[in-house]
Structure 1
Amino acid sequence: MGRNTRKRRTPLATKVIAASAALALGGGGLVWANFYASAHEENRWSNNTRSAGAQIATISCPDVGLKLRNVPRKARYGVARELANLDKQITDAYTRLASTRQAQAGDPGFVQNAILGPLKSKRVAAIDRININIQRVGGTAPRGLERLAQCKGVPAEQPQPNDGNGDQDNGGQDNGGQDNGQDQGQDNGQGQDNGNGAAGPVADDFVDITTVQPNTPPSNGNGFKANGDTGSTGSFTTFCGVNENNNFNTDNLIVAPGVDNGARHTHDYVGNQGNNAFASDQDLANANTSCQNQDDKSTYYWPVLRLQDGTQEFDQNELGGGAEGNLGRILKAETAGIKFVGNKQGDVVAMPKFLRIITGAANAFTGGDANANASWSCTGFEDRQLTDKYPICPQGSKVVRTANFQSCWDGQNIDSANHRTHVDFVEADGSCANGFQAIPQLQIRLVYDVPAPVIENGQVRTPFAVDGFPEELHKPITDHNDFINVMDEDLMNRVVECINSGQDCQ
């Protein structure tokens, strides 16, 4: 598959990193043996570990970024770089964790002394630099950030999210954390990797969609969520393709502006064709767009879905790709539906140009699910939505990823320091809390023709998985989606008019 992205590393550096990742993610049973052998525990998320000697599956760290709510604008670039550095530190520590299993087996203090201890020291230094960036421009750094430096190993027996962000909420959004009627504690048999040399997903990450009980009201017939028959009932659909231009990169302009490989996984991009870590708002405004309506230069992007079938993609040896555990054939969506809908309480107001919204959380497995918003299903079964499982679809049915974005805006800011607090989800009755205003809700529905994975003897063969941070083990709950509004103001006003007048426009 081709690509549209710049070269990232020198060949030597790439080879060194790829070799390290290959060791960490090797297909032999040494690395991942027994990781999930005791998954039959009734409470997989318990904070109590059964054995001090339990092997550590991954690393969980508090999310520093979520605590940064009032960063002065002049400090945000430097803070963003340090947050990206914190992410990289976790990945480096995880790579070392996965490549030193023999040393860990011989020394019960190895993980703490050789991995978690040094990681804490590095995080302390990065947090200090965050404080300096804020104070240098006259701001006040949040108190107690240094308490977030300590990370912990997550035992294979009881993988658990970090509880350091327990005071965060998702604005009242119901993420449907159902157990789907399934025994989440099923034994994974041999407990090794999935046979493809990748650290996840595993058999327990999948469920037969036909065995899941309906848990979501029926859609309006085309898979999109209907907001109700009151308020602003119209919609606006924009057609931007499925990344026919092969526009991929591993940047994240919202979270890590100016940071090469800031996402550490590969994104599909539709709409704006100029989105990379170094793009300014003016660059986005001047870029080409894949949308049929050329006045929509918005950027819509999401982590790619891969089939772990042994294919060596263009990024097999690159950071963000195979060098960081994102392996296999990139699958493009068969269709990418992009729709804006209204609010069941009343009218919506126009989104400001360059408004940024992230929905979902790339670290939802290890960092806590406060901002998780993953939604997986199959065509023909979209009244059954999964948050923490990938669906196994029956013959003739296709995998569906859905993202329903936050649709309440603070009325002032196009972004916030933690990229969360300037927008919010509606309350259960459709209202916006805290004086926020209702804006058009973006819904993105991606449909994939994916071969159904096969589970045999507790192992999954040729699974599909979303790209992500390696320490997140490709869990489905980590799915997320990003959007920057770069619509022409006249077009945005038309979107609002269509929605508020009850019309269905495109």
Structure 2
Amino acid sequence: MWTRRLRSRARLLSVFLPVTLGLSLVVALGLVGVGRTAPASQDRPDRPASREYVDIASVAPAPTPQAGPGASTGSYAEDCGRNTEGHRNADNVVFSPGVPGGAHHTHDYIGNRSTNAHSTNASLASAATTCEDGDHSAYYWPVVRRLDRAGADADAVGGGRDGNTGAIVTAASVRVEFRGNPAGPVVAMPRFLRLVTGDPVAHLNSLPQVHAQWGCSGHPERFTTRYTRCPAGSGVTRTFDFPSCWDGLNIDSADHRGHVVFPAAGGICPQNTFPVPQLRVTVGYDLPPGTPYAVDSFPEQVRDPKTDHALFVNVMTERQMAQVVGCLNEGRNCRGDR
């Protein structure tokens, strides 16, 4: 009996042992392959894949619209600082009013010193500002982080809890500029107008509204939707161009976009919309060449560079906005001061 059992076990081993070893070998080779070829975003969901970075030398300059005979060719620049005060939170008063942490990523703020989830038009109007010309408007965008350093908010909402790891980088420069329209004069923005540029859910959005513009200082008008690698002596930049064709009625809309849209080529605004001063904010960072970095995003957006975005709430007084409009329509280059 025992002899028959041993022979039976021997036959089973002769059949299954080679199969088991073969499967083990396949699995082992597969794991080795995954370790070699998987993109960084799969190995580390908090880090973008290497394909999301591009050398600025390979980025072609963007075309510059030619101004027509009735263009508003002036500009108005103001100094609102670069958030050395550390005004940051994971709120979004435009998209998630009244919801602390509703952004699930951390925002940098300049201008209005009080902006948070609970801000109202009245509270914004009465708060202090970092802008030298007394502009109380709120300007904000997601922070950029160095991935080679640990962040102080690893256990906080908007930081590590939402997949946004790394040390927040304070901007080396921030330029706020209002520009005219290449097709004609502009009209004043209404007070408390909300503007949004970019799409924070572009990674998964089937119809993304991408307006991310990554670049490098010293390489004007070279923009890409991927993170840029900059040469020595040049820093990473983000350029936020906001929509500038207003419906003439509303300061906000259900999707926070429909009341102000982007012009067509040449600056032409769609029918029944009116050109307002076009806001451009350029943020620069001093990052040594080769430094790994990424923007904050919603967890499921895996820090995709295409998700870069910015928001603006206009809290200028009528007098301040009239000054901006006058500079643009008269072709003057102005700088705001108190």
Q: TM-score, normalised by structure 1?
A: 0.58
User: Aligned partners of 1:493 and 1:192: how far apart in 2?
Assistant: 51
Per the alignment, residue 127 of structure 2 pairs with 287
Q: Deviations over 1:232-281 (max 9, x none)?
A: 00010111000021100000000010111111100000000111111110
Residue 256 (structure 2) pairs with residue 256 (structure 1): no
Please tell me the residue identity of whatever aligns with 2:295.
Answer: V
Residue 185 (structure 2) pairs with residue 347 (structure 1): yes
Per the alignment, residue 216 of structure 1 pairs with 62
Percent identity over the alignment?
Answer: 43
Residue 265 (structure 2) pairs with residue 402 (structure 1): no
- SS state at 1:429 partner: helix
CA apart distance, 1:344: 1.2
Please tell me the residue identity of whatever aligns with 1:215.
Answer: P
CA apart distance, 1:444: 0.5
- SS state at 1:496 partner: helix
Please tell me the residue identity of whatever aligns with 2:150.
Answer: T
The aligned length equals: 304
Please tell me the residue identity of whatever aligns with 2:228.
Answer: P
Residue 303 (structure 2) pairs with residue 474 (structure 1): yes
Is 316-325 or 197-206 further displaced after alignment? 197-206
- SS state at 2:266 partner: coil
Written as runs of structure 1 = structure 2, the 5 A alignment for 1:39-438 is: 189-191=36-38, 193=40, 197-212=44-59, 214-217=60-63, 228=67, 230=69, 231-294=71-134, 296-313=135-152, 315-387=153-225, 389-438=226-275
User: Aligned partners of 1:386 and 1:254: how far apart in 2?
Assistant: 26
| Change in 2 beyond 3 A, CA 1:192/1:346 | closer
Q: Deviations over 1:146-171 (max 9, x none)?
A: xxxxxxxxxxxxxxxxxxxxxxxxxx
User: Aligned partners of 1:479 and 1:253: how far apart in 2?
Assistant: 17
Q: Deviations over 1:375-430 (max 9, x none)?
A: 0111222342101x111111111111001110000000000011010001111131
| Change in 2 beyond 3 A, CA 1:468/1:504 | same
Please tell me the residue identity of whatever aligns with 2:57.
Answer: T
Aligned residues of 2:145 and 2:296 also touching (Cα < 8 A): yes
Indicate the structure whose relative CO is greater, using CA pairs within 8 Å and at least 6 residues apart. 2
Aligned residues: CA RMSD:
2.1
User: Aligned partners of 2:42 and 2:292: how far apart in 1?
Assistant: 10
Residue 325 (structure 2) pairs with residue 496 (structure 1): yes
User: Aligned partners of 1:245 and 1:239: how far apart in 2?
Assistant: 15
Is 436-445 or 192-201 further displaced after alignment? 192-201
User: Aligned partners of 2:91 and 2:66: how far apart in 1?
Assistant: 33
Structure 2's unaligned 5+ residue stretches are 1-29
User: Aligned partners of 2:245 and 2:292: how far apart in 1?
Assistant: 36
- SS state at 1:471 partner: helix
Aligned residues of 2:66 and 2:266 also touching (Cα < 8 A): no
User: Aligned partners of 2:36 and 2:242: how far apart in 1?
Assistant: 38
- SS state at 1:283 partner: helix
Larger Rg, first or second structure (1 or 2): 2
User: Aligned partners of 1:418 and 1:403: how far apart in 2?
Assistant: 19
User: Aligned partners of 2:154 and 2:256: how far apart in 1?
Assistant: 30
CA apart distance, 1:319: 1.1
Please tell me the residue identity of whatever aligns with 2:145.
Answer: R
Q: Deviations over 1:11-66 (max 9, x none)?
A: xxxxxxxxxxxxxxxxxxxxxx98x96xxxxxxxxxxxxxxxxxxxxxxxxxxxxx
CA apart distance, 1:333: 1.2
Structure 1's unaligned 5+ residue stretches are 1-32, 38-187, 219-225, 454-461
User: Aligned partners of 1:463 and 1:196: how far apart in 2?
Assistant: 15
Q: TM-score, normalised by structure 2?
A: 0.85
Per the alignment, residue 27 of structure 2 pairs with none
| Change in 2 beyond 3 A, CA 1:324/1:215 | same
Please tell me the residue identity of whatever aligns with 1:489.
Answer: E
Aligned residues of 2:163 and 2:299 also touching (Cα < 8 A): yes
Aligned residues of 1:271 and 1:300 also touching (Cα < 8 A): yes
Aligned residues of 1:247 and 1:268 also touching (Cα < 8 A): yes
Please tell me the residue identity of whatever aligns with 2:74.
Answer: G
User: Aligned partners of 2:66 and 2:312: how far apart in 1?
Assistant: 20
Residue 277 (structure 2) pairs with residue 440 (structure 1): yes
Residue 315 (structure 2) pairs with residue 463 (structure 1): no
Aligned residues of 1:200 and 1:475 also touching (Cα < 8 A): no
| Change in 2 beyond 3 A, CA 1:407/1:336 | same
Structure with greater strand share of residues: 2
User: Aligned partners of 1:316 and 1:235: how far apart in 2?
Assistant: 41
| Change in 2 beyond 3 A, CA 1:373/1:271 | same
- SS state at 1:446 partner: strand
Aligned residues of 1:198 and 1:327 also touching (Cα < 8 A): no
Please tell me the residue identity of whatever aligns with 2:240.
Answer: A
Aligned residues of 1:196 and 1:310 also touching (Cα < 8 A): no
CA apart distance, 1:229: 6.1
| Change in 2 beyond 3 A, CA 1:279/1:235 | same
